[in-house]
């Protein structure tokens, strides 16, 4: 029977990695994905969205803290990403909306690259390793959601459905409408193709194709990598 300390190590939650930075990141991403549609029509929808996204950004920064280069780049991008989140609570300036969408997309893209890089460095499969793989996949969906939002901001009417709702007030609708872009993004990422939303502009079409291809390649490469790690891990145990 495994002792608690040994069990934590097997799960990838040893004290040097406590509390499992990728597992923490995964929890914040799930919170974002669940809370967005639930509070989309709430009076404080933008406040809830800002809080959820801020948690994801902070958890992502925490997850990349051991990777110095990625951490520095992510920290630089995080300042405008979070700053615009707060500014959008008080103003509906399109320029701030665009800056927020672009910097958030770049920040999440850097995090995805950092997570995928780690998957090709680790020597064993743990709970935290699996969490990192899932986080990279989900953050890709959120990153493309911001990219689609930026395209819609630059070229209104880029999609067949109205994804970007603009309320009568001057408050920016980016946070309140983000769940629509997340929905469309994951439809592309998983190549589900419901057909209720279609890209119209060239930018929207290009991003949709890129995300669909990435989603398929990621799953194939990820499964191959994890299986190879598990086989190597099993062979080492047999030799012992």
Domains along the sequence of the chain with CATH: 17-239 (1.10.287.70)
* Spatial separation of the C-alpha atoms in residues 86 and 41, rounded to whole Å: 19
Residues 155-178 have pLDDT tens digits of 988 999 888 766 555 555 666 678
Contact 146, 106 (CB under 8 A): no
Q: How many CA atoms lie within 13 A of 60 on its CB side?
A: 36
Closest among 64, 86, 87, 88 to 76, alpha carbons compared: 64
Residue 4 has pLDDT above 90, yes or no: no
Contact 133, 226 (CB under 8 A): yes
- Calculate mean pLDDT across residues 119-148: 89
Environment class of 1 (CB within 10 Å of its CB; exposed 0-12, middle 13-18, buried 19+): exposed
* Spatial separation of the C-alpha atoms in residues 231 and 237, rounded to whole Å: 10
Sequence-ordered alpha helix ranges (H) in the chain? 4-10, 21-38, 45-63, 68-87, 94-119, 127-154, 174-189, 202-239
pTM for the model: 0.85
Residues 189-228 have pLDDT tens digits of 999 989 899 999 999 999 999 999 999 999 998 888 888 8
Phi, psi of 171 (to 5 degrees): -70, 135
Question: CB-based contacts of 169: which residues, under 8 Å, 6+ apart?
Answer: 92
Which span out of 13-27, 32-46, 121-135, 202-216 was modeled with the highest average pLDDT?
Answer: 202-216
Contact 157, 238 (CB under 8 A): no
- Calculate mean pLDDT across residues 6-33: 69
């Amino acid at each position: 029977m495994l002792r608690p300390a040994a069990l934590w190590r097997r799960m990838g939650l040893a004290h040097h990695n406590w509390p499992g930075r990728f597992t923490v990141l995964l929890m914040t991403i799930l919170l974002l994905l669940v809370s967005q549609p639930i509070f989309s029509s709430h009076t404080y929808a933008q406040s809830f969205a800002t809080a959820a996204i801020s948690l994801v950004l902070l958890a992502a920064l925490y997850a990349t803290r051991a990777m110095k280069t990625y951490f520095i780049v992510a920290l630089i991008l995080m300042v405008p990403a979070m700053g615009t989140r707060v500014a959008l609570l008080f103003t509906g300036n399109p320029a701030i909306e665009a800056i927020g969408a672009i910097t958030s997309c770049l920040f999440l893209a850097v995090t995805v690259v950092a997570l995928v890089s780690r998957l090709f460095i680790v020597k064993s499969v743990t709970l935290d390793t699996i969490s990192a793989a899932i986080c990279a996949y989900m953050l890709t969906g959120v990153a493309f959601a911001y990219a689609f939002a930026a395209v819609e901001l630059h070229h209104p009417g880029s999609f067949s459905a109205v994804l970007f709702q603009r309320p009568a007030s001057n408050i920016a609708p980016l946070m309140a409408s983000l769940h629509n872009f997340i929905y469309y993004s994951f439809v592309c990422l998983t190549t589900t193709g419901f057909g209720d939303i279609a890209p119209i502009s060239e930018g929207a079409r290009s991003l949709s194709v890129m995300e669909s291809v990435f989603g398929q390649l990621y799953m194939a490469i990820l499964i191959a990598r994890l299986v190879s790690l598990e086989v190597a891990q099993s062979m080492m145990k047999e030799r012992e």
